[in-house]
Structure 1
Amino acid sequence: MRQTLSVIALVFTIFLNAQELKSPSEFLGYELGSRFTRHHQVVDYYEYLSQAAADRVKLEEYGKSNEGRRLMIAYVSTSQNINDLESIREEHLKSTSGESNSTKAIVWLSYNVHGNESVSTEASMQTIYELLTNKSSYLENTVVIIDPCINPDGRDRYVNWYNQYKNSPYNVDPNSKEHHEGWWSGRSNHYMFDLNRDWAWLTQLESRQRLKKFNKWLPHVHVDFHEQGVDNPYYFAPAAEPFHEVITDFQRDFQETIGKNHARYFDANGWFYFTKEVFDLFYPSYGDTYPTYNGSIGMTYEQGGSGRAGLGIKMKIGDTLTLNDRIAHHHTTGLSTVEVAANNVEKLNEEFKKFYRNKNYKYKSYVLNGEADNMLALTSLLDKHQIKYSSGTGGTVKGYNYQTGRNGSARTGDNSLIVSTNQTKGTLVKVLFEPNAKLSDSLTYDITAWSLPFAYGLNAIASESLVSGGEFQKTTSGQSNLDPNAYAYLGDWNSMTDARFLADLLQKGIRVRFAKKPFTLDGKKYARGSLIITKGDNQNITDFVQQLMTTSREHGKPLTAAATGFVESGKDFGSSWVQMIPKAKIAVLSGDPTSTLRFGEIWHFFERQLRYPISVLDASYIKEVDLSAYDILVLPGGWGYSELLDEDYLEQLKDWVANGGKLIAMGRAIKSIDGEKGFGITEKESAKDSSETKVKQYDKTPREQIKDAITGAIFKTKVDSTHPLAYGYGNNYYSLKLGNQSFDYLKDGTVAYIENDTSPVAGFAGSEAQKKMEKTLVFGVEEYGQGQVVYMVDNPLFRGFWENGKLFFANALFMVN
């Protein structure tokens, strides 16, 4: 009898909840799925729920996007759980030290990281409504955290575009304009970054703000909702190989458990789906892998559709895929995920505690030495991930030497950085720092190498012993005082800190020179590229010394006062070997044929990293632009440059360069300016692969193709450090190579290059692709008339995280003259 009354009470409660709350359709005033909902309307609905069901929904704003749109998460659970939310969180986090007695499951659902994968946010509204009404029983022992839109700038860009171009009623013909977004699609954020590749690198505002909240919860389960091609069935876990070796058996098994529950619902509805294909768990910066490396069951769910689908589109098989279909599928997997978590609370808590027990990883500590500014940049990233580190205390550490690829040793001191796996985030440390991540399958979805010592240009030893250390001191102080009577003020040139300092000075009208030869003054040695700021050059600035001191402090950039320009060795400050750095006017090409991602990396570099102004020139009108108004033109990587750079316009570009312009060509843009009609760079000819004449087994074709691929591998290159493009670098540079494109050495001006050793130091490169890398250019400069062409075959700005490559780009702007 008591059980019957409980069931009746539960049904009555569900009925009351459904009566009290408006569904998304009732609140919005149109049927969900009949149009796309703008971000402010989504916010309005979540705010409505947080008021109408204030005891069961807590809404929290965690930041704003670049364009000022609100970023928020909603906590959804029972009244008691919401009331005890902070104590539930604290008890859950005790699991990371093995002390928790938590009886709740924490499930985090993330929607719309790609703005034009627009069904996600629509589905989130239906999902939260169902959790508060018909599925409220799932919440008794579960806290669900919903982020309805990770990328509101991209989403509104898509929604506004679609509303402008759709037919009325919508047209399912795939050829209709409403199914063909323009160059700047809604996928990316404001700076055209892919936020789903930024979880680990945190280059973007949205990512940094979100991670603060994520680290406060570290959920048991995290789902990232996506869309894929129109004709693809739904994808859900379990994921494909390769799985990173740190992923536990339980994490693998629980993906299977969740997948089977999804399949039960999809089977009942006759919906098609696939698992264990395409989407692997390796690259650490995704919305499934990053949570996984923090103990979650991290998963990607992929619905067919994306930016092409609109409100409805005809598929190749003749069926019509509607927005309602897409909502139903994401809504189903969202609820199914919460259901499985609610039914496995004890197991989730038990295994989460196990994940955070000390692991017996091969390398216990990573010891790093190198340029202080790069070290500080790395510690800034580690702080955001809540990864602990320390400084050296003297002595010698033995282990794997990243630079030699063999066992070696290094001295440690106060300026050494030690990062160990013996900490809460130890698994994440291993993933981000290990020399070469172990691949179980070479067919991967993304890059296969990212090791932070290489990315930050630091010398590293991976030690199999735990290395103790002291407190790491962050020294970022600039110049407190400068002698006002000095002849000049000197600064080194080694990092992006130095580049930002220079960019700031130039914009303030302060004139700066740089040394093209090493010199010695007052017993101190100065390298090529050293900055020389003289009073004579700046005598028209009345408060010159005060401005210089202020700028020095703002950038943490120490300067040395020089009483004379007469050096002890090298070239005096009046020599032609000491040149003025011009305040360059810079233009960057945008639009077709550039890649939005490659353009976005450059745009973000100038505005958020270097903080130097640029003009963005669109390809649709650049032929009408007088390039003589600009000193530098940057061509981002992209496809289809041949139509833009036809013979006539290529001649115009050549004339502009010959008259003193500087052209920076990156990635695939280089191919458009090579050859007899272009400049002096030539694509490398590769010998014909004998396997091309062999009969290939049909289902082995991808394995054959991978032999010619490089999937984001790290290569050791040689560097001519005497060249202005390489100022601040040593004799070697570790480059992240993203493909097999290769060019011969330049006749003059080959700066970074691969010689005979073509095997990567980390990551995967196919056997045939490696052959194409022998004696090839990475970075170089061609002198052309009075100007230069800078070639960047590899992308030093890729996803904004390869810190050690950025000075090459700054050198291309300021030092190559």
Structure 2
Amino acid sequence: MTRILLLSFFLFSIVSTAQLQSPSEFLGYELGTEFTRHHEVVDYYEYLAKEAPDRVKLTVYGQTNERRPLLLVYVSSAENISNLESIRQEHLKDTEGTGNSSKAIVWLSYNVHGNESVSTEASMQTIFDLLTSKSSYLENTVVIMDPCINPDGRDRYSNWYNQYKNAPYQVDPNSKEHNEGWWNGRSNHYMFDLNRDWAWLTQVESQNRIKVYNEWLPHVHVDFHEQGVDNPYYFAPAAEPYHEVITNFQRDFQVTLGKNHAKYFDANGWFYFTKEIFDLFYPSYGDTYPTYNGAIGMTYEQGGSGRGGLGVITKIGDTLTLKDRIAHHYTTGLSTIEVSSNNSDKLNTEFRKFYKNRSFKYKSYVLNGNSDKMDALKALLNKHKIKFGSPSKGSAKGFNYATGSNGSAAISDNSLVVSTNQTKGTLVKVLFEPNAKLSDSLTYDITAWSLPYAYGLDAIASTSQINAQPDNKSVSQANHGDIRQDAYAYMSEWKSMKNARFLAELLTAGIRVRNTHYPFTLDGKSYQRGSLIITKADNKHKNDFIPKLTEIAAKHYVKLQSTPTGFVDSGKDFGSSYVQMITKPKVAILSGKPTSTLRFGEIWHFFEQQLHYPLTVIDSDYWGKVDLNDYQILILPGGNYNNAISENQLKKLKEWVKSGGKLIAMGGSINGIDGEKGFSIKKKEIPKDSTKNKPKPHKNTQRERIKNAITGAIFKTKVDNTHPLGYGYGTDYFTLKLGSESYDYLKNGNAVYLESNTKPVSGFAGSDAQKKVGNSLVFGVESFGKGQVIYMVDNPLFRGFWENGKLFFANALFMVD
């Protein structure tokens, strides 16, 4: 590839074996002079599939929340396309050590962040040249292209830019066209970052994509991104930390690819950097998840993002154009395919080795606990094609997650075993290991995610292989229990999100429900605080009460116990003041600045896709005009609230709470309501150490700074499960702490808190940060007049995957009263 060739890719192609139209010819404008809307991108790929069906296969693998299609495009030689399924099957045999594949499989993923929009544009030029001037790469290579992982975000950005740009465009970075609003184009419909969802699969785009990805498990995967406008291009090799499971070949091949990219960038005088910032550790990225499944997984980062527009002036006075950005991504994309094609035999050989050569310390993970949480974990494992099983009764010895030391646990019929002795064994090790080994504490994302902690399950990591019978069920198919027509009441446990969804649908259907704030026993069965009680008397107004109750219980696999009496064996009778009606709350949430789009999106998604309960969104632009008395609950998502809430707004909030409102303040929003003029919560102050004022070398600045940081570490906390916020939990909870900001204990209502021992059980926390979070609040409730303020210092809904935190949020909605 020469400088002349790169320049020519913006010109109309006049030589094509199939006389295909270039993107510029098809779209009617020169590529890089407009942002192409998603439906136009789809049109171009459909055109190629129609005009070159022997070399292009197009499939739709799903649909977004806003009904845009998700495309995959297979491009290769005519012979390979005609044998595509046999190539796939032979390739997958390599994971079992029985294959003899010779083709290189390269998967290119574009535009996972909607406002990092250049890569979709580059994808069109890339496939065109693969079908024309670069077709020789395809003789031994199958290229799978996802032109746009995030169509909803991309169209949000491109429509916004087309609306606000100057004519033709303005390069001044202060111009409106370079400054998106609060809801920018980065995220998907629910404001989730899809590049952090590969392992957790909370979003429909991820769920649909992973089905097809696991049908191929490519040798090479590239995730195309953009970064700040002033940054040069980034490509592999990645930065430390690398996870310890990453093989020497995976490391070395990144270098091979990087040197080939550098050859082209050097020839054109383009700036780039490698081995910095973007590491290979957190498992839910578009580079790490493929890596842990045997691929050479990589992130490529072009300067630009939402601020780039069609052209912008950088800080050194150069103009960065969309054409420039396209050329760079186009170059690394073709270079990746070139190197893969030239090394197809090596890629196949090493891919087989990846799946054959395993020697992990822990051979089996044995899990016990809440069956509902176990079902939630099984559902995730099935999506990843991770096998699990039911072991024979006995005991397991190994590392005990609850105690942080070696121990043993009984194995019952309800236990679950996940072994590393399977095709997805490396991924199992990464997702389940108690504490991932960090080669460098300077990392790009959270450093702890172990699934037993995330799902609230007791676990033993055993160095022995524990045999188990295969179990591929996702949900325990429990019946809805004994719903007798002549019963006085029907009772249900309160222990998981399954129960929360059940309650939410009952309330939405107009069925009245009570809960107990005191344990009781009845008919030989014990019921803990929070248990649901549905009486006939409360629902005599509802003609279809029994059929509706039966239907909803069956839908959620909730087992109800019928009783002919409200007279309990021990505890409080059903007419006691300790057995209260659960009100159907009308819930509002604040959106817009100062809230974080990600934190807002987690709550929005929780209500609509997990709890299935109505939520009113009130924007900060007009919330001062809203009568809060119309709502029983107001949620303040995390964000940057410093000086964001005025005295008048705070006064209004306090009056609303005092009159009976329930305020849920999460993360950074607590900063907006604490202090002398706010509520009583106080930020934790740590005495300063005078020795820290000593001069330190500038080169150590970053290392010194991380002493105060917590990069997503797991801490063991105490739970007061007699408090309504702690209903359904044991006495311990493992929280994912994302920072060192901490608050003193409340005078009363400390439902979840850290004690003095603050060493994380998993992940990195700086030495100074550990001191700061000692004896601090995690979740608590302050009574204020007739209402309450619920503080959630840590985020129980983080990225939608911290399953064990979700019941705390449901408790805040329904149990705290």
- TM-score, normalising length from structure 1? 0.98
Q: Does 1:660 align with 2:660?
A: yes
Q: After the TM superposition, which residues 766-777 of structure 1 pair with which residues of structure 2 at under 5 Å, given as runs?
A: 766-777=766-777
Q: Distance in 2 between matches of 1:21 and 1:120?
A: 21
Q: Distance in 2 between matches of 1:749 and 1:492?
A: 23
> Aligned with 1:460: secondary structure?
strand
Q: What amino acid is the match of 1:744?
A: D
Aligned partner of 2:594 in structure 1 is 593
Aligned partner of 2:371 in structure 1 is 372
**Runs (5+) with no aligned partner, structure 1:** 1-13
State the Cα deviation string for residues 187-212 of structure 1 (Å, max 9, x = none): 00000000000000000000000000
Q: What amino acid is the match of 2:519?
A: P
Cα distance change on mapping 1:206 and 1:691 into 2, 3 Å:
farther
Aligned partner of 2:113 in structure 1 is 114
Aligned partner of 2:64 in structure 1 is 65
Q: CA deviation at 1:137?
A: 0.4
Q: CA deviation at 1:698?
A: 1.1
Aligned partner of 2:814 in structure 1 is 814
> Aligned with 1:623: secondary structure?
helix
Aligned partner of 1:205 in structure 2 is 204
Q: Judge conservation of contact 1:71–1:150 (CA < 8 Å) in 2.
A: yes
Aligned partner of 2:743 in structure 1 is 743
Q: Distance in 1 between matches of 2:110 and 2:178?
A: 22
Give aligned-pair identity as a percent.
70
> Aligned with 1:582: secondary structure?
coil
Deviates more, 1:131-140 or 1:472-481: 472-481
> Aligned with 1:634: secondary structure?
strand
Q: Judge conservation of contact 1:476–1:557 (CA < 8 Å) in 2.
A: no
Aligned partner of 2:477 in structure 1 is 476
Q: Distance in 2 between matches of 1:412 and 1:792?
A: 35
Q: Judge conservation of contact 1:62–1:213 (CA < 8 Å) in 2.
A: yes
Q: Distance in 1 between matches of 2:16 and 2:177?
A: 39
Q: Judge conservation of contact 1:390–1:471 (CA < 8 Å) in 2.
A: yes
State the Cα deviation string for residues 737-761 of structure 1 (Å, max 9, x = none): 0001100000000110001111000
Q: Judge conservation of contact 2:585–2:632 (CA < 8 Å) in 1.
A: yes
Q: Distance in 1 between matches of 2:676 and 2:381?
A: 48
Q: CA deviation at 1:15?
A: 7.8
Q: Distance in 1 between matches of 2:595 and 2:626?
A: 18
Count matched residues: 803
Q: What amino acid is the match of 2:47?
A: Y
Q: What amino acid is the match of 1:792?
A: M
Q: Does 1:195 align with 2:194?
A: yes
Cα distance change on mapping 1:348 and 1:32 into 2, 3 Å:
same
Aligned partner of 1:520 in structure 2 is 521
Q: Judge conservation of contact 1:478–1:555 (CA < 8 Å) in 2.
A: no
Aligned partner of 1:574 in structure 2 is 575
State the Cα deviation string for residues 759-803 of structure 1 (Å, max 9, x = none): 000000000000101110000000000000000000000000000
Q: CA deviation at 1:482?
A: 1.2
Q: CA deviation at 1:480?
A: 5.8
Q: CA deviation at 1:471?
A: 3.9
Q: Does 1:338 align with 2:337?
A: yes
Aligned partner of 2:627 in structure 1 is 626
> Aligned with 1:361: secondary structure?
coil
Aligned partner of 2:702 in structure 1 is 702
Q: What amino acid is the match of 1:650?
A: L
Aligned partner of 2:361 in structure 1 is 362
Q: CA deviation at 1:16?
A: 5.9
Q: Judge conservation of contact 1:478–1:554 (CA < 8 Å) in 2.
A: no
Q: Judge conservation of contact 1:103–1:141 (CA < 8 Å) in 2.
A: yes
Q: What amino acid is the match of 2:378?
A: T
Q: What amino acid is the match of 1:757?
A: N
Aligned partner of 1:606 in structure 2 is 607
Q: What amino acid is the match of 1:197?
A: R
State the Cα deviation string for residues 159-187 of structure 1 (Å, max 9, x = none): 00000110002010010010000000000
Aligned partner of 1:547 in structure 2 is 548
Q: CA deviation at 1:689?
A: 3.6
> Aligned with 1:470: secondary structure?
strand
Q: Judge conservation of contact 1:358–1:423 (CA < 8 Å) in 2.
A: no
Aligned partner of 1:235 in structure 2 is 234
> Aligned with 1:45: secondary structure?
helix
Q: CA deviation at 1:579?
A: 0.6
Q: What amino acid is the match of 2:380?
A: L
Q: Judge conservation of contact 1:758–1:773 (CA < 8 Å) in 2.
A: yes
Q: Distance in 2 between matches of 1:51 and 1:496?
A: 47
Aligned partner of 1:274 in structure 2 is 273
Q: Distance in 1 between matches of 2:17 and 2:30?
A: 17
Q: What amino acid is the match of 1:685?
A: E
Aligned partner of 1:7 in structure 2 is none
State the Cα deviation string for residues 682-734 of structure 1 (Å, max 9, x = none): 00011214354121211111000000000000000001010000000010000
Q: Distance in 1 between matches of 2:780 and 2:95?
A: 49
Aligned partner of 1:3 in structure 2 is none
Aligned partner of 1:560 in structure 2 is 561
Aligned partner of 2:674 in structure 1 is 674
Q: What amino acid is the match of 2:699?
A: D
Q: CA deviation at 1:101?
A: 1.0
Q: Judge conservation of contact 1:358–1:422 (CA < 8 Å) in 2.
A: no
Deviates more, 1:103-112 or 1:357-366: 357-366
Q: Distance in 2 between matches of 1:689 and 1:634?
A: 37
Aligned partner of 1:226 in structure 2 is 225
Aligned partner of 1:782 in structure 2 is 782
Q: What amino acid is the match of 2:330?
A: H
Q: What amino acid is the match of 1:250?
A: F
Q: Distance in 2 between matches of 1:754 and 1:506?
A: 34
Aligned partner of 2:723 in structure 1 is 723
Q: After the TM superposition, which residues 152-163 of structure 1 pair with which residues of structure 2 at under 5 Å, given as runs?
A: 152-163=151-162
Q: What amino acid is the match of 1:259?
A: G
Q: Distance in 1 between matches of 2:691 and 2:449?
A: 31
Aligned partner of 1:11 in structure 2 is none
> Aligned with 2:494: secondary structure?
coil
Aligned partner of 1:49 in structure 2 is 48
Q: Distance in 1 between matches of 2:312 and 2:804?
A: 45
Q: Does 1:714 align with 2:700?
A: no
Q: CA deviation at 1:642?
A: 2.0
Q: Does 1:215 align with 2:218?
A: no
Q: What amino acid is the match of 2:649?
A: Y
> Aligned with 1:368: secondary structure?
strand
Q: What amino acid is the match of 1:479?
A: H
Q: What amino acid is the match of 1:596?
A: T
Q: Distance in 1 between matches of 2:798 and 2:772?
A: 22
Q: Distance in 2 between matches of 1:480 and 1:61?
A: 42
Deviates more, 1:174-183 or 1:538-547: 538-547
> Aligned with 1:254: secondary structure?
helix
Q: After the TM superposition, which residues 129-528 of structure 1 pair with which residues of structure 2 at under 5 Å, given as runs?
A: 129-472=128-471, 474-479=475-480, 481-528=482-529
Q: CA deviation at 1:478?
A: 3.3
State the Cα deviation string for residues 304-339 of structure 1 (Å, max 9, x = none): 000001000000010000000000000000000000
Q: CA deviation at 1:358?
A: 4.7
Q: Distance in 2 between matches of 1:601 and 1:391?
A: 33
Q: What amino acid is the match of 2:549?
A: L
Q: What amino acid is the match of 1:297?
A: I
Q: After the TM superposition, which residues 93-108 of structure 1 pair with which residues of structure 2 at under 5 Å, given as runs?
A: 93-108=92-107
Q: CA deviation at 1:475?
A: 1.8
Aligned partner of 1:78 in structure 2 is 77
> Aligned with 1:642: secondary structure?
coil
State the Cα deviation string for residues 132-172 of structure 1 (Å, max 9, x = none): 01100000000000000000000000000000110002010
Q: What amino acid is the match of 1:94?
A: K
Cα distance change on mapping 1:716 and 1:480 into 2, 3 Å:
closer
Deviates more, 1:223-232 or 1:466-475: 466-475
State the Cα deviation string for residues 274-312 of structure 1 (Å, max 9, x = none): 000000000000000000000000000000000001000
Q: What amino acid is the match of 1:741?
A: E
Q: Distance in 2 between matches of 1:641 and 1:444?
A: 27
Q: Distance in 1 between matches of 2:242 and 2:72?
A: 29
Aligned partner of 2:4 in structure 1 is none
Q: CA deviation at 1:481?
A: 5.0
Q: Which ranges of 4 or more aligned residues in structure 1 deviate by more than 6 Å? A: none
Q: Distance in 1 between matches of 2:633 and 2:220?
A: 48
